[in-house]
């Protein structure tokens, strides 16, 4: 019995000291976990960059179950963490409930819009970035067939796919886009073997540029494309360096910048919707020394032209998630 009291005492002391370290920013990673080589990891990099620059600390929690979304959010808010960032649309519903309970705490959510006076919603225009890499894919393709390999079959990835297909068709309406999804469970984000199998399948159907929007699975797609002597397109982070000269470009989605900005703003975080589009540098095709030889001047000009068109509104890229439909197949 005395042993248990000692345990309880130790726990209480620790919980107390943990509570004292207030006003630290906090980040909650979605179920994929911190080291998913993709989305959550990008967020972590952003938080790390802020910590290194400011010399301050931040709190981080990887949730393990659905029930923990609300639990962790509330506990962090009660302990005084501010602002609290979270990655992933799956938090939207819970945040909508929790945010009004903590009016003095600022929250930031990536990939979804939560309309509360103390929440900053950060959304990316993935369809625009995908449109641009679609243009590049169509121009680089000799066979007139390009591929798309998605991770888990969810609306967000259809948004990538639809933007990409629109970009491809804008160059040549007759081009064929082969689409495959890795799976229907979260394991689809981290299955490079299956990614490489799917890529080989698409190569045998004539695809000579493959865009992988599949998290860790994409590593296998890029590898298979490099082995098959065709081009690939990376996603989220700049993956051009993985196979120099064989990755056409990467559709970068700067989640790291988003989280960095949230932490930098601290308690002064501005609520509202923050759209990380082409103009804001939220999405972009990556251009660096590894793909310089692959990007022809004509390709560069086409991308620049389309970028301008999207920015001034003369080109409208349809967002799949607004109506669950894609204008092109």
Partner 1 sequence: MDRLPTWADAILVPVLSIVIAFAISAIVILGIGENPINAMGIMISGGLGSTYGWGYTLYYATNFMFTGLAVAVAFHATLFNIGGDGQAQLGGLGVAMAALYIPWPNWWLALFGASAAAALFGAAWAAIPAWLQAKRGSHIVITTIMFNFIGSALLNYLLVNVFRPVGSMDPATANFPKATTLPNLSSILGLVGIPFSNQTPANVTFLIALLACLLVWLLIWHTRFGFALRAFGKSEPAARYAGISPVKITMYAMLISGALAGLMSINNVMGESGRLVLNSSEGAGFIGIAVALMGRSHPLGILLASILFGFLYQGGAELAMWTTIPPQLILVIQALVILFTGALDNMVRMPVEAVFHRLGKRRG
| Binding positions for partner 1, rule: CB under 8 A | 4, 6-12, 14-15, 18, 61-62, 64-68, 70-72, 74-76, 89-90, 92-93, 111-112, 152-156, 184-186, 321-324
Closer CB to partner 1, residue 51 or residue 154? 154
Minimum distance from residue 131 beta carbon to partner 1 (Å): 19
Closer CB to partner 1, residue 92 or residue 242? 92
Using DSSP bridges, classify how beta strands 176-183 and 145-152 pair: parallel, antiparallel or unpaired.
parallel
Minimum distance from residue 40 beta carbon to partner 1 (Å): 13
Closer CB to partner 1, residue 26 or residue 137? 26
Minimum distance from residue 283 beta carbon to partner 1 (Å): 16
Instruction: Give the Cα separation of 326 and 329 in Å (integer).
Output: 7
Minimum distance from residue 237 beta carbon to partner 1 (Å): 21
| CB contact set of 312 (below 8 Å; sequence gap of 6+) | none
Minimum distance from residue 244 beta carbon to partner 1 (Å): 34
- Compute the C-alpha angle 184/129/156, nearest 5°: 25
Minimum distance from residue 114 beta carbon to partner 1 (Å): 11
Closer CB to partner 1, residue 114 or residue 278? 114
Polymer length of the chain: 329
Using DSSP bridges, classify how beta strands 283-285 and 247-253 pair: parallel, antiparallel or unpaired.
antiparallel
Instruction: Give the Cα separation of 270 and 140 in Å (integer).
Output: 42
Report which DSSP code applies to 206.
T
Quote the tokens at residue 116: 């509360």
Cis status, amide bond into 132, omega within 30 of 0: no
Closer CB to partner 1, residue 14 or residue 301? 14
Minimum distance from residue 281 beta carbon to partner 1 (Å): 22
Minimum distance from residue 52 beta carbon to partner 1 (Å): 18
Closer CB to partner 1, residue 216 or residue 228? 216
Instruction: Give the Cα separation of 104 and 267 in Å (integer).
Output: 9
Where does 173-302 show beta strands of DSSP type E? 176-183, 209-213, 231-236, 247-253, 272-276, 283-285
Closer CB to partner 1, residue 112 or residue 257? 112
Closer CB to partner 1, residue 89 or residue 290? 89
| CB contact set of 250 (below 8 Å; sequence gap of 6+) | 133, 233, 234, 235, 236, 237, 238, 239, 240, 285, 286
DSSP 20-42: HSTT--EEEE-TT-TT-SSHHHH
């Amino acid at each position: 019995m005395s042993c248990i009291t000692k345990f309880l005492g130790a726990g209480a002391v620790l919980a107390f000291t943990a509570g004292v370290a207030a006003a630290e920013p906090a980040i909650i990673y979605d179920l994929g976990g911190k080291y998913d080589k993709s989305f959550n990891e990008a967020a972590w990099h952003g938080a790390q960059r802020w910590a290194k620059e400011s010399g301050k600390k931040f709190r981080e929690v990887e949730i393990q179950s659905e029930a923990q979304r609300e639990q962790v959010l509330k506990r962090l808010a009660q302990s005084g963490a501010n602002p609290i960032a979270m990655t992933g649309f799956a938090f939207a519903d819970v945040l909508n409930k929790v945010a009004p309970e903590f009016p003095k705490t600022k929250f930031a959510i990536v990939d979804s819009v939560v309309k509360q006076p103390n929440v900053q919603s950060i959304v990316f225009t993935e369809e625009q970035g995908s449109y641009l890499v679609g243009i590049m894919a169509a121009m680089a393709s000799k066979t007139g067939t390009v591929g798309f390999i998605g991770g888990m079959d969810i609306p967000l990835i259809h948004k990538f796919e639809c933007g990409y297909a629109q970009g491809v068709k804008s160059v040549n309406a007759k081009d064929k886009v082969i689409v495959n999804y890795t799976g229907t469970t979260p394991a689809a984000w981290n299955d490079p073997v299956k990614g490489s199998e799917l890529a080989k399948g698409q190569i045998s159907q004539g695809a000579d540029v493959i865009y992988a929007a599949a998290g860790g699975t994409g590593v296998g797609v890029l590898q298979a494309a490099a082995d098959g002597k065709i081009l690939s397109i990376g996603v989220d982070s700049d993956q051009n360096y993985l196979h120099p000269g064989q990755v056409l470009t990467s559709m970068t989605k700067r989640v790291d910048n988003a989280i960095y900005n949230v932490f930098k703003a601290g308690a002064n975080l501005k609520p509202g919707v923050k759209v990380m589009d082409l103009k804001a540098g939220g999405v972009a095709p990556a251009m660096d020394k590894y793909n310089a030889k692959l990007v022809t001047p004509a390709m560069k000009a086409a991308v620049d032209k389309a970028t301008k068109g999207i920015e001034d509104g003369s080109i409208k890229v349809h967002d799949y998630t607004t109506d669950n439909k894609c204008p092109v197949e």
